[in-house]
Each structure stands twice: as structure tokens, then as C-alpha cells.
Chain A
């Protein structure tokens, strides 16, 4: 019996064991299913082309250019002439051998980059001969291209994501690109679009043999959007040229819309150096440049004392608070004593009597010190109330806080209030005379150039401003409208101050800023500044400042210019602002002599002083 049934029983038993094993492999153990997908299916991300960036006149600021990476799959490389290939690629033979070696260490089956970011021209040569080298292939890639090398800090740049980026947003995978700084960062989502997925069927050599299940699981990319900025490319470029060999910034705003026409910071850099093979080297170099700080956007981040342009705001507050009128006059004796033994100098000649009008265009310190003290002392002995009233008015101009514009960096600036002085001097320990420096925009006040440009726009608009912004339109969307922000000063008071500002240019401190045929209103500033050198507070040459708007009756541009250590306001800042206005309103500049002086002028010698380790003179 055993003999007869031995084989049939063994057969049935074997079959049962096989079926059991099949059940465990096919029905119970799902890990093999996933393994097969991981094994045989490769998921490739496909990226929409990053959106272009245009200026307000639809001139291109940022586009993309194709570059090529030479890739290699080590296991597919057969022996080849290393010398010939290295010549073709334009690299040293040793470098090529080293690259292939490290690629092999990384993975023999996966492609590695042997030579990245090959230019279009070189690619054409390589493409022709690459078939000779099995295992090597070229992969097209896209990098940013800047038709004009301007606005680098404003635009930002694009680079590969790091661990932090991936932690913050799990959208990103290693090797993908992300916008850094500026517009690239702020509008990253729109510019990048949404990547898609493509699934490929691989064979065991990791070669792609076709799309997986006819592309059933593929995910299409979602459109990257082009964006149009408020920036005027021509004006921006002109501003950057004017700022050659100087440090500082320009912010120009269209008052009616709040659109930023140009945001210049100097020194800056050519955005093209952050594209391509030398990116990280160049970036390091800039990061390490702690003196010129090319990555520091002075237009948005630099906090300076506002200086004399701030007098316009004090005048408005005094008018609004009714502590002066246009006839209020003060005598200036080359300055005045504001407290016992405390003298504030002024450049008015002895015996000058100034009212509001002449006070502004002569920039009389005495006049503004007095009206400022009136504001603070308005509530009698209680200087705290006066201080806070003043503070509230300034806040309505957007000072002392972020403006809410659409760029990722900024500074609040600083407008002191009563609490601040109570802290430093103790309650009751300070009077209007103690804080009188605020009258002339020195003291504790700090503003950024964009805040200066913004309050200039508010003056130009006679009482309101619109949040400054850089985005004009996104993709096919129409213009985004921003609400008016009313200042706490009644519009009737503005005309009085504006008339004074007009005279600044017509016959005051900034006659150099006068443009034929355009009524320019402005205000110069000269700001003392100090740094510590080896622990000793040392004064440096004054900053040259100018704010302006034009035309007077229908303002199209409001501008603030800061030239670090440029000495007095009319020396650098006013001419630059004036040239910018002329360029913007007239399209070209007639005053070639002035333009030439600004373009060629250099303050580099001035900047070297502070770290020359030698005693130096200021305000030469």
C-alpha cells in the first residue's frame, strides 16, 4: 500500500506545500508587492519651467537658460579614452578620473553628475561625440538667466534645497531648487508651480524601458506663473549705475499706487555669479565680505537716523496739533541754547528769522527744535502725553514698524515713545529739551530708506500712502489693489510743507536737484554717524540724504536716497535723486555733467578710513 500511494501522496503533499507558500508570498505578505514597485518602477519628478519675472513695462528681468549636466552610470561605462573625454569636457584628466571614481563610490547603478552646468555652446560640442562613451549622457537642466545684471538683492536667487528647507516643507526633495531671498523667495510658490510625477518601468540594469502602465499614475505639473513687478528696469539699472563705488540705497515709489519703482542697494552683485558652477564659491565670498555686505539690502534693512528730511514730518505734526501756524517765527543765531549751557548749532547766519516756509528750505535747526518742543510740551508739564501724540502721528506714516511689503527682509526702524524715555531717564527725569535731537531727525529715531520713501509718498499724496509693494500682477491676474492708508495729518496742512520742500530745490539747500520743467519738492539731510573702532566711539563722515517727489502738483515719483558717508545731502544724495527723477519722468537725462560726476564719483577711499588703523579726518 505504501509503495502504491507513495508518489501520489508526495505529489499532493508537495502541491499543498507550494500552495501554502504561495498564500504566504502572494496573499499574506504585502512587502513583496511594494518591493516590486520599488524595484521595477522609478518615479521621476518633472518640473514646470520656473516662472519669468518682468518689470512694470514687461521687460524681462529674469528668465531661464538651459544648461546641461554630464551624467554617468558607472556600471554602464566601458573602457574609454580618458584623455580624449577630458579634452572634450575641458577638464583635467585627473579631475575626470576622480569624478568617475566618486560616482562609482556613490552608486554603480544610479546616475551621478560628472560635470555640472555645461554651457549651451560646450554642450553642442559634447553632444556630438557623447555616443562614443557608453554610460555617459547629457541631462538638460534649467538655470536662471538675467538679461541685465541688476536688482540682485531684490530678485533673490535660486539654489538647491538644504535639510532645513526639506524639514520646513516636505514638498522639497534633495537636489530640488528653492528661491532664496527677495522675490524668488517671497513668490516661490507661484514661480516654481507644482512639480509632477512620471513613473517609468525599469529593467534590472536600471535602464528605463518605457512609461509605467501607460502613464496611468503620472501626475501633471501645475503651472508656474510669470510675475510682473512694479520695478522699472531702466530706472533700476540707472540707479545702480549711479551708485557705483558708493554705499547706500535708493527707494523710489509711485505715490498714487504704492508701487516701488526701484529698490537700489549698493554695493550689490551681478546675479549671474550665483548661477552655474561657481555659485557656492561666489556666495561664500559675499557672505564673508562683512565690510561691504553685498547681500545686505540697504534699501530695506539699513536703519539710519533720518536727519533733516524728518523735519517735514515734525512740521506737519506741529501744524496738525495747532502748536504753530505758517506765521510762527523763530530767531536763529547760528543756532540756539535749548537748555542752560546746551547749544544747538545751525548753519543760518546770525539774526535770521525763519517761519515754516523758510525754516524748511533753509533747514533751520533752531526753528524745528522749537516747534518740536512745542509739540512735546503741548500738554503742559506732562511731556509723556506730548511724546505719545508725536509718536502716534509718526506711526500713521508707517514708521517704527514693518511696512508689510512683499519681500522677505526688512527692519522696523525706531520711533521712541514716552515709555522709552521713562526707562532711560526715569519717569519725570526728562523734558522736551532732553529729547530735542528728535526735532532734526537725529537722536533715537531710526528709519529705513523704504520708510523714508514711503513717508515722502504720503507727503506727495497730501495725507495718505499705499503700502509699498513689488508685485504688479501675477500670471494673468489683473493688478492687485491695495487700500489707502490715511495718515493722522489733515490734508490741508501738507501744502504748506510741500511749498517749503519745493523751495528747498528752487532756492534752498538742494538747488542742484532742480530739473528744468519739473517742479521737484525735496529735503536734504546730513546725518552724523558713529562706529566703534577698537572700542572707541568714532565719528565718521556724515551720511548724505535726500528725499524728494515730483512733479509737485501731480506726483509720479517719490524717492529717498541714502549715500553712506557722502557728507552733506546736496553733495551726493540730492543729485542722484534728481537724476533718477529726471530719468523716470523724462526718459533721459540732459544734465550729462551732473550724471558724469555721479557715475564717476567714488567714496571707496572714505569707506577705507574706518579700518585703515590710522587716524583720519572726516567731512573733508
Chain B
């Protein structure tokens, strides 16, 4: 069976993966380029470490491809608790970098268990949902799933690395796919909507908008279903206004100034290009200056000038957009879009629920990173420091996402081998 897996592998997906990681290496090289940089294999430099981790990822990938896919289902819970232990261990052995205790330092290389936690949580949720024939309509199942997600989430928040923790929201996608009540989607979207309009507009206008929207919805639904009662809508209206109030309160009294600033910048409220808005503004300048064709490899003046902070990690997209221009960034977005969609389509073909949920979860995680990271670089999403999968510098990140891709490839190749 494992002998002919080579023929059953989705080589197109592998090609996309390889394109992404090599593009990543090139841009990490450019973003960290200096006269003293000694090629791609200088392990004392970021790009050398990245290459090392990539090669290690390939090695792990080959092992993953040669393992029976059933193994992952059995391994899921063990793997999950190992990562939880690793996350707990950080509080004792962890290395603190810029305020967050998120790393283990092993012989000059740093490992970030929160990246691994994404894979193992995806595995454990897939395993849990498939094993127990669980029904997402049963509150007990929901609570258990919530506990699986919340445990690593809280541990990561405590590091503190709220950005990475937020990514666990990505599990909404597989859960929704597997039958999570629409109500959650509506609540999720309503909260998001209310959150932003509350912060964007004056309170009186917000109440007006909420009232108008709710009554419009009521009006249209009434046409479809004449028996519809109005009181749930009025309750919803009151709750919405109450939520809006509390957002206002939380924003002004609970959030710290830097959080407020980050959100305000995205809302275009404060244009402070030298203070907190600096990162986003510089990133936008770098992106905008790329033009159609970009400035060319190693030619980005914004990149070379080191104007964009964290450029090899969180803001790697600005390097790409500056040096490779619109064409390069379009190509990158296309690759991501293709990768995510293909993973989902392949997941849909799975008859095995475990594999499907895992693949779907992985796609959701990649999408969430893609959405937040590029959105942040473009100034459309508040600053949340998470890497761009396969591209950003970060050994643990590239390893974790590679593992996701290889497990998915394994699952996809073994789609017809039911057990």
C-alpha cells in the first residue's frame, strides 16, 4: 500500500506547497538581507535557520506520508496532551522573547509549541467528533469540543500571545461544516458587525443602524412567514443595544490603549503615522511602492531600509508586495486561495469523517492565518502578530503547517483505503 502512495499523492498540491515555501525562503532572505549575509545556508542567520527547518519539515513529511493514516486517529489524544504538557512546561522552562514566554530554546534553535498545538488540536477535534458519533446539537458534545479548544487557547493567552490564541477561532469552520447551529454563525457575525459599528460610529447612530437592520430583517421574513412574531426581534434588538453598550464600555475601560489604537487604525479613526500607526503605514507604503512589477529581488527600498518592523515574520507580505509588485502578490494570494480551496474540496470527497474534519480544520487554520496576516499588512485587519503560513520566518510555524499539509496529503492519498 505504501509502495504506491507516490502515484496517489496530489502532486499539484505538493507543487503549490513547494512554491509557497521557496517563495517564503526567498523573501525571508530579502527581508533579512545584509552585506554580511552568507547565502541561504548560514545557520546563524534567520534564513539559514528557516532552510534548516524546511529540510527538517521535508524529512518529517516523508515519515508522515509513509505512516498508516489510521495511526493519526489513535495518536490524536496522546499528541494533544503532549502539546498541552509542552505549553504548560513553558511556564517553567520557556524563553521570553519580547514579552511573551512562547519558546523553548534548544541549541540555538527556538521551538514554539503553540504552533504544534494547532495541529494537535485539529487532530483531537477530528478524532473526537468522529469517534463518538457526536452530535453537535447536543450541548455536552459542544462543551467537550469547547474544552478541547479552550485549553490550549487559554494556555497561549497566558504566555501571553493573544494573537496566536485567537487563531483557535479557526475551528469554527470545521464545526460549522459538521453541523454547528446556524445560530452560532448569526451570533458570530452579529457580534463582529456590532463590534465594528459600535466603534466606528456615534452611539445614537449605532442604535439607529441596529434598529433599522433588525426591522428590515423582520419585514422580509414576515413576507415569507406571516406567522412570525415580533417579540424575538425586539429581544434581539435590546440584546444588541446592550452588547453595543458593553463593547463601548469594554473598549474604553477594559482595553488598553494599544489595543484601542490598533483597532482605531483599521477603522481609520486615528491617523498617527509615527506612533502606533507606524507599522501599518510603513507596510502600506512598502506595498504601494511595489507597483505592478515590483522593485525586484533585494531591491525593495522599504525592505532594505528596515522601515517595516517584523518584516521577515509578521509583515513578510510587505516585502513580497514591494519587491514582486502586484503580480507577485496576486500570485501569492492565488496560491493560497487555490491551496485552501483544493484542501476543502479534497476533504469533501473523504468518506472518513476523521480525515475530513482534520483536512477541513487545517484549511480553516491556514485560511485564518492568511486572512489575518495579509489583512493586517494591507491595513484592513487590526494588528495581530501571527505568521503567514509557509512564508513567514519561524521554524515551528513552517514545521506545523508542513505537518498539516503532509497529513492532509496522506489522508487524501489514502481516501479509498477505508479501514
Q: How large is the interface on B (under 10, 10 to 19, 20 to 34, 35 or more residues)?
A: 35 or more
Contact of A33 among B173, B288, B306 (CB under 8 A): B288
The answer for the CA separation of A290 and B208 in the assembled complex, in Å, is 78
Asked whether, in the complex, the Cβ of B341 is within 8 Å of the Cβ of A32, the reply is no
A34's closest neighbor in chain B, by CB?
B289
Q: Confirm or deny: B387 has a beta carbon within 8 angstroms of a beta carbon on chain A.
A: no
The answer for the CA separation of A17 and B370 in the assembled complex, in Å, is 13
Contact of A6 among B177, B337, B341, B371 (CB under 8 A): B177
The answer for the CA separation of A40 and B363 in the assembled complex, in Å, is 38
Q: Provide the residues of chain A in CB contact with B322, threshold 8 Å.
A: 36
Enumerate A16-70 residues with CB–CB distance to B below 8 Å: 17-19, 21-23, 25-27, 29, 31-33, 35-37, 39-41
Q: Provide the residues of chain A in CB contact with B173, threshold 8 Å.
A: 6-7
Asked whether, in the complex, the Cβ of A36 is within 8 Å of the Cβ of B301, the reply is yes
Q: Provide the residues of chain B in CB contact with A12, threshold 8 Å.
A: 337, 341
Q: With A12-B337, A203-B305 as known contacts, state yes or no: A18 contacts B375, CB within 8 Å.
A: yes
Q: Provide the residues of chain A in CB contact with B375, threshold 8 Å.
A: 14, 18
B177's closest neighbor in chain A, by CB?
A3
Asked whether, in the complex, the Cβ of A14 is within 8 Å of the Cβ of B370, the reply is yes
Asked whether, in the complex, the Cβ of B291 is within 8 Å of the Cβ of A19, the reply is no
Q: Confirm or deny: A430 has a beta carbon within 8 angstroms of a beta carbon on chain B.
A: no
The answer for the CA separation of A4 and B285 in the assembled complex, in Å, is 38
Q: With A7-B173, A22-B321, A22-B326 as known contacts, state yes or no: A15 contacts B336, CB within 8 Å.
A: yes
The answer for the CA separation of A21 and B287 in the assembled complex, in Å, is 10
Q: Confirm or deny: A127 has a beta carbon within 8 angstroms of a beta carbon on chain B.
A: no
Q: Provide the residues of chain A in CB contact with B380, threshold 8 Å.
A: 17, 21
Q: Provide the residues of chain B in CB contact with A36, threshold 8 Å.
A: 285-286, 288-289, 301-302, 322
Q: Confirm or deny: A209 has a beta carbon within 8 angstroms of a beta carbon on chain B.
A: yes
CB distance from A12 to the nearest CB of B (A): 6
Q: Confirm or deny: A102 has a beta carbon within 8 angstroms of a beta carbon on chain B.
A: no
Q: Provide the residues of chain B in CB contact with A4, threshold 8 Å.
A: 177, 348
Q: Provide the residues of chain A in CB contact with B330, threshold 8 Å.
A: 19, 22
* Chain A, interface SS category: helix
Q: Provide the residues of chain A in CB contact with B364, threshold 8 Å.
A: 7
CB distance from B107 to the nearest CB of A (A): 31
B342's closest neighbor in chain A, by CB?
A8
Asked whether, in the complex, the Cβ of B378 is within 8 Å of the Cβ of A18, the reply is yes
**What 0/1 pattern do residues 338 to 368 of B give for CB contact below 8 A with A?**
0011001100100000000000100110010
Asked whether, in the complex, the Cβ of A35 is within 8 Å of the Cβ of B288, the reply is yes
Contact of B306 among A14, A29, A203, A213 (CB under 8 A): A203
**What 0/1 pattern do residues 3 to 16 of B give for CB contact below 8 A with A?**
00000000000000
**What 0/1 pattern do residues 364 to 401 of B give for CB contact below 8 A with A?**
10010011001100101000000000000000000000
Q: Confirm or deny: B179 has a beta carbon within 8 angstroms of a beta carbon on chain A.
A: yes
Q: Confirm or deny: B48 has a beta carbon within 8 angstroms of a beta carbon on chain A.
A: no
Contact of A26 among B282, B326, B360 (CB under 8 A): B326
Q: Confirm or deny: A491 has a beta carbon within 8 angstroms of a beta carbon on chain B.
A: no
CB distance from A26 to the nearest CB of B (A): 4
CB distance from B236 to the nearest CB of A (A): 21
B329's closest neighbor in chain A, by CB?
A22
Q: How large is the interface on A (under 10, 10 to 19, 20 to 34, 35 or more residues)?
A: 35 or more
Q: Provide the residues of chain B in CB contact with A31, threshold 8 Å.
A: 288
Q: Confirm or deny: B46 has a beta carbon within 8 angstroms of a beta carbon on chain A.
A: no
Asked whether, in the complex, the Cβ of B177 is within 8 Å of the Cβ of A33, the reply is no
Q: Provide the residues of chain B in CB contact with A3, threshold 8 Å.
A: 176-177, 179
Asked whether, in the complex, the Cβ of A18 is within 8 Å of the Cβ of B374, the reply is yes
**What 0/1 pattern do residues 216 to 233 of B give for CB contact below 8 A with A?**
000000000000000000
The answer for the CA separation of A8 and B364 in the assembled complex, in Å, is 10
Asked whether, in the complex, the Cβ of A26 is within 8 Å of the Cβ of B307, the reply is no
Asked whether, in the complex, the Cβ of A15 is within 8 Å of the Cβ of B333, the reply is yes
The answer for the CA separation of A22 and B334 in the assembled complex, in Å, is 13
Contact of B292 among A6, A17, A27, A39 (CB under 8 A): A27
Q: Provide the residues of chain B in CB contact with A27, threshold 8 Å.
A: 291-292, 326
Q: Confirm or deny: B304 has a beta carbon within 8 angstroms of a beta carbon on chain A.
A: yes
Q: Provide the residues of chain A in CB contact with B302, threshold 8 Å.
A: 36, 39-40
Asked whether, in the complex, the Cβ of B325 is within 8 Å of the Cβ of A7, the reply is no
Q: Confirm or deny: B290 has a beta carbon within 8 angstroms of a beta carbon on chain A.
A: yes
Q: Provide the residues of chain B in CB contact with A26, threshold 8 Å.
A: 287-288, 290-292, 321, 325-326, 329
Asked whether, in the complex, the Cβ of B177 is within 8 Å of the Cβ of A22, the reply is no
Contact of B305 among A17, A33, A201 (CB under 8 A): A201
Asked whether, in the complex, the Cβ of A11 is within 8 Å of the Cβ of B301, the reply is no
A205's closest neighbor in chain B, by CB?
B306
Q: Confirm or deny: B118 has a beta carbon within 8 angstroms of a beta carbon on chain A.
A: no
12 pairs from A and B in contact (CB 8 Å cutoff): A7-B360, A8-B341, A10-B367, A12-B337, A15-B336, A18-B378, A22-B333, A26-B288, A26-B326, A32-B287, A33-B288, A204-B306
Interface residues of A (CB under 8 A from B): 3-4, 6-8, 10-12, 14-15, 17-19, 21-23, 25-27, 29, 31-33, 35-37, 39-41, 201-204, 209, 212-213
Beyond A11-B344, A14-B371, A201-B304, 4 additional contacts (C-beta under 8 Å) are A22-B287, A39-B305, A40-B301, A203-B304
- Shortest 3 CB-CB contacts between residues of A and residues of B: A32-B288, A36-B289, A40-B301
